[in-house]
Amino acid sequence: MVTFHHTSRASKAFRSLAGVALGTIVSMQCVAGPIVFSDADGDISDTVAAFQQALGDPNRGNSAGPFADGRRQINWDAGIVPFDMPADFFNNPAFPPTRGAVFSNSNNSEFRVSNDGIDNEFDTFNADNPNQFSTFSAPRLFTPVGTNIFDVNFFIPADNTPASVNGFGAIFSDVDLFGSTIVELFDVNNQLISSNTVEANPNGLSFFGIAFDDFTSPIFRVSITAGNTDIGSGLADDPTNGIDLVVIDDLLYGEPQAVSEPGALALFASALILMGVRRKKLI
30 Cβ contact partners less than 8 Å away, ≥ 6 residues apart = none
Bridge partner residues of 242 (DSSP): none
Answer yes or no: are the C-beta atoms of 51 and 142 closer than 8 Å: no
Distance set, CA 160 to CA 35, 82, 92, 258, 265 (Å):
29, 22, 8, 10, 11
**Of 3-11, 31-39, 66-74, 193-201, which part binds Ca ion (CB under 5 A)?**
31-39
Shortest reach from residue 201's CB to Ca ion, in Å: 10
Q: Is 174 in the site for Ca ion (CB under 5 A)?
A: yes
Site for Ca ion in 189-228 (CB under 5 A): 202
Bridge partner residues of 111 (DSSP): 144
Q: Which is nearer to Ca ion, 39 or 277 (CB)?
A: 39
Q: Which of residues 88, 199, 244, 255 is near Ca ion by CB under 5 A?
A: 244
Q: Is 77 in the site for Ca ion (CB under 5 A)?
A: yes
Cα maximum dimension of the chain: 53
Q: Is 114 in the site for Ca ion (CB under 5 A)?
A: no
Name the 3-class secondary structure at 21.
helix
Shortest reach from residue 266's CB to Ca ion, in Å: 36
Q: What are phi and psi of 240, to 5 degrees?
A: -60, -35
**Of 24-32, 57-65, 240-248, 253-261, which part binds Ca ion (CB under 5 A)?**
240-248
Q: Is 121 in the site for Ca ion (CB under 5 A)?
A: no
**Of 90-98, 186-194, 236-244, 264-272, which part binds Ca ion (CB under 5 A)?**
236-244
Name the 3-class secondary structure at 16.
helix
Which residues bind to Ca ion, rule: CB under 5 A? 39, 41, 43, 46, 75-77, 132, 137, 140, 174, 176, 202, 237, 244-245, 249
